Amino acid sequence: MENGQAAGLLKKAYDKLKAPDAAAACALIEQALDLDFENEEIKHALKCVHWWLEHTRRIDDIKNPFEKGALFISLLKQYHVFLGQSNKIYDQCQYAVRFYVYSSALFFFEGLLKSHSNQNDHGLLLLAGRCYKGLGNYDEALKFLEQAVRLKREDPQTLAEVADVNALLAQPKAAKALFREAFFLDPSKIDITSMESALIQKLREEVLALGFKGDELNEWIPVYGYLWGVFSVKRELKQMEAGRLKQSIFSLETEYDANPARRGIIKPRLLNHYFWLIDHYEISREDSSLIDETLLKIKVTDPDIYKKYTG
């Protein structure tokens, strides 16, 4: 940035945004633009701050603190769509925006968490954990997210968030095991855009590169995660879990045959269930004919995946 005074104002604006004070940041960016009106980063920063000011201008009309905090988190998806229209993304600006969003949301959540009656609110604990993760405080994030898991042990999004934080804390074994569990429970209920670790983002990008998108993307992530050795941690299923798995496979097979329009979603989920069943048979040392039978089902469902699985 050639104009030193404009650069100084922009730096101060980013600090204000992280504070978080978007209105003060906006005023400083406008001053910087007056000094250096052709600077692309200043113009980009002004657009981003204006976007957040516009989309949160009715925040004072919301009475519930949880809803206020949740609004900031819920706007992130829209914001990323908006960012996708930009020719260039400026990292310093987005870093400041990130602090603005998560600090603003956490301000409302922390007030609620002071009350003992809210200590068992799963939704509050989950979003507070996400905020701490977004601010880089991974130990604090894990504390809240693990508490949320204890309240809802089979919630895919919560498990995925715990997995993500474990990956960020360089605990790959725990991360891989938890990601696999989360995507087995229900891939459609995981907000993949909220995941930050390189482990899951790299996998997402590689599956995206295969041509899968929309609702199908999340469904294929555990399939390729398993085939490529990312979701490599296996565990023995309890008898009740094995029974539920077989029942779920039967339901998926029935729907797969009866509903061709939904096969794009059902097929990867069914394949992932077959992978879990084979693991169960291998770990519990079941009759090998049961493994062969399941392998044949994979071959019939998707010959290409069968080759990758057995190759």
Provide the residue ranges of all domains of the chain, joining segments of one domain with +. Answer: 1-119, 239-310
CB atoms within 10 A of CB 150: 12
pTM, rounded to two decimals: 0.92
Single-letter amino acid code for the residue at 282: E
pLDDT of 1 higher than 80: no
**Cα dihedral across residues 157, 162, 163, 167: positive or negative:** positive
For residue 119, what pLDDT is reported? 85
For residue 2, what pLDDT is reported? 58
For residue 117, what pLDDT is reported? 82
For residue 69, what pLDDT is reported? 97
Residues 161-197: b if buried by 16+ CB within 10 A, e if exposed: bbbbbbbbeeeeeebbbbbbbbbbbebeebebebbbb
Distances (CA, A) of 170 to 143, 165, 199: 16, 9, 10
pLDDT of 156 higher than 60: yes
pLDDT of 259 higher than 60: yes
Residues 57-96: b if buried by 16+ CB within 10 A, e if exposed: eeeeeeeebbebbbbbbebbeebeeeeeeeeeebeebeeb
Q: With bands split at pLDDT 50, 70 and 90, how would you rate the model's confidence at 133?
A: very high
pLDDT tens digit sequence for 31-57: 999 999 999 999 999 999 999 999 999
pLDDT tens digit sequence for 173-223: 999 999 999 999 999 999 998 999 999 999 999 999 999 999 999 999 999
At a CB cut-off of 8 Å and minimum separation 6, what does 292 contact?
none
pLDDT of 234 higher than 60: yes
90 contacts 45 by C-beta, under 8 angstroms: yes
Residue 249 CA, chain-centre distance (Å), reads 26
Q: With bands split at pLDDT 50, 70 and 90, how would you rate the model's confidence at 287?
A: confident
| Mean predicted confidence (pLDDT) in 140-151 | 97
For residue 14, what pLDDT is reported? 98
